[in-house]
């Protein structure tokens, strides 16, 4: 395995973006749906705990605190259940496509990839806008937005302060932690890696008809620092910015973001009619044999 840094990934992302990132539009659609579902629950009154005015809601009706809290927990469980079921089929797909926290991690990389001062400013605004929207969506579950109009000065200050702190945390995630959070800290990711490994659908490595040229592009661009060519094997231990990390099973760590596929396509685009060895597909026994042979010395 290559010794990789954030800068290696940023450089590879820049090269891919110049060729045109095929998954960008689809990723925006998926994350928009994910964010819309998060906002829908409190905005429609399906469930909301109002810590400001006590206007707790459940199924559009005013209820007491505990009933609203119960409804919110059930709503969260239903949303989590949907992602869990999908991840059982396609692995940690939600982590790579629908998770707002993972999406925020990409904005710091977008800024680093900027080719002009104007583009850098636009990327900052784009990232800050998404982070603010995400934080607002989370806060809507716990406070009526009318607090910023009808609330007391203290209530407004507290609400604005919490929003500011959480937004700064989101920006810190974008520019400092990025996908390190997903690898080492995220509780949902830590759970998924235990229960959704060896999913039947994911990223497959098949050297038929065109063999891998061992360029290393897929490893450099991988946000969770694994070798996409060997997802059926254990990830070797290596020193990180955190602690010495434990052994990790590749397929359980892969977030199915498709960055490695785009990098592979970019490399093989120079050869007309070539089929890149990395692509989305069904992980069957034949693919596993290809992976094993590729990772063996």
What angle is formed at CA 84 by the lines to CA 194 and CA 74, rounded to 5 degrees? 120
Q: Which of 155, 175, 193 is the last residue of a domain?
A: 193
Give dist(CA 225, CA 222) in Å, integer. 5
CB under 8 Å to 265, separation ≥6 — which residues? Answer: 22, 276
Instruction: Tell me, yes or no, whether 33 and 133 share the same domain.
Output: yes
So what's the pLDDT on residue 197? 61
Instruction: Tell me, yes or no, whether 37 and 131 share the same domain.
Output: yes
Instruction: Tell me, yes or no, whether 159 and 44 share the same domain.
Output: yes
Residue 177, domain extent: 8-193
Q: Which of 163, 193, 223 is the last residue of a domain?
A: 193
In 3D space, the residue among 62, 64, 63, 71 whose CA is nearest the CA of residue 141 turns out to be: 71
Instruction: Tell me, yes or no, whether 156 and 51 share the same domain.
Output: yes
DSSP 229: G
Give dist(CA 157, CA 67) in Å, integer. 28
Q: Where are the alpha helices (DSSP H) in the chain?
A: 6-19, 24-43, 65-90, 93-97, 100-112, 117-139, 147-150, 153-172, 179-184, 187-195, 217-221, 250-253, 259-268, 285-295
Instruction: Tell me, yes or no, whether 231 and 177 share the same domain.
Output: no
Buried b (16+ CB within 10 A) or exposed e, 123-151: bbeebeebbbebbebbbbbbbbeebeeeb
- Phi/psi at 134 (nearest 5 deg)? -65, -45
Query: Under a CB-based contact definition with an 8 Å cutoff, are residues 111 and 127 in contact?
Result: yes
The CA–CA distances, whole Å, from 68 to 3, 111, 135, 136, 209 equal 49, 40, 20, 19, 57
**94: Cα within 13 Å, side-chain hemisphere:** 20
Instruction: Tell me, yes or no, whether 187 and 273 share the same domain.
Output: no
Instruction: Tell me, yes or no, whether 184 and 225 share the same domain.
Output: no
What is the count of structural domains for the chain? 2
Instruction: Tell me, yes or no, whether 89 and 227 share the same domain.
Output: no
Instruction: Tell me, yes or no, whether 68 and 144 share the same domain.
Output: yes
- Phi/psi at 51 (nearest 5 deg)? -75, -10
Q: Which of 166, 193, 220 is the last residue of a domain?
A: 193
**49: Cα within 13 Å, side-chain hemisphere:** 16
The token duo for 253 is: 């760590």
Give dist(CA 225, CA 187) in Å, integer. 18
Instruction: Tell me, yes or no, whether 273 and 137 share the same domain.
Output: no
pLDDT in tens, 213-231: 999 999 999 998 889 998 8
3 in a domain, yes or no?
A: no
| CATH number of the domain where residue 272 is located | 3.30.70
230 in a domain, yes or no?
A: yes
In 3D space, the residue among 193, 200, 131 whose CA is nearest the CA of residue 167 turns out to be: 131
So what's the pLDDT on residue 132? 95
1 in a domain, yes or no?
A: no
Instruction: Tell me, yes or no, whether 29 and 106 share the same domain.
Output: yes
Residue 29 has pLDDT above 90, yes or no: yes
pLDDT in tens, 217-273: 999 999 988 899 988 777 665 444 444 444 556 777 888 999 999 999 999 987 778
In 3D space, the residue among 2, 5, 19 whose CA is nearest the CA of residue 179 turns out to be: 5
pLDDT in tens, 182-213: 887 888 777 777 766 667 888 999 998 989 99
So what's the pLDDT on residue 269? 85
Instruction: Tell me, yes or no, whether 228 and 279 share the same domain.
Output: yes
């Amino acid at each position: 395995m290559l010794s990789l840094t954030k800068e290696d990934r940023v450089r590879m992302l820049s090269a891919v973006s110049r060729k045109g990132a095929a998954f960008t539009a689809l990723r925006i659609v998926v994350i928009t749906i994910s964010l819309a579902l998060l906002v829908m629950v409190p905005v429609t009154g399906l469930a909301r705990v109002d810590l400001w005015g006590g206007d707790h809601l459940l199924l559009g009706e005013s209820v007491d605190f505990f009933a609203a809290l119960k409804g919110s927990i059930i709503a969260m469980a239903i949303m989590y259940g949907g992602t869990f079921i999908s991840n059982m089929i396609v692995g940690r797909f939600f982590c790579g496509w629908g998770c707002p926290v993972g999406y925020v991690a990409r904005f710091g990389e977008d800024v680093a990839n900027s080719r002009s001062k104007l583009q850098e400013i636009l990327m900052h605004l784009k990232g800050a806008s998404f982070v603010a929207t995400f934080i607002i969506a989370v806060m809507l579950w716990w406070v009526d937005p009318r607090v910023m109009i009808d609330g007391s000065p203290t209530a407004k200050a507290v609400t604005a302060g919490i929003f500011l702190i959480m937004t700064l945390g989101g920006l810190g995630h974008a520019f400092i932690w990025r996908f390190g959070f997903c690898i080492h800290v995220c509780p949902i990711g830590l759970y998924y890696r235990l229960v959704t490994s060896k999913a039947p659908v994911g990223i497959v490595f098949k050297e038929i008809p065109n063999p891998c040229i061992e360029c290393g592009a897929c490893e450099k661009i991988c946000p969770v620092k694994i070798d996409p060519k060997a997802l059926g094997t254990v990830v070797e231990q290596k020193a990180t910015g955190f602690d010495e990390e434990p052994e990790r099973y590749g397929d359980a760590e892969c977030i199915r973001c498709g960055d490695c596929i785009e990098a592979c396509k970019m490399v093989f685009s120079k050869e007309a009619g070539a089929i890149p060895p990395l692509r989305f597909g069904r992980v069957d026994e034949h693919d596993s044999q290809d992976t094993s042979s590729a990772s063996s010395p």
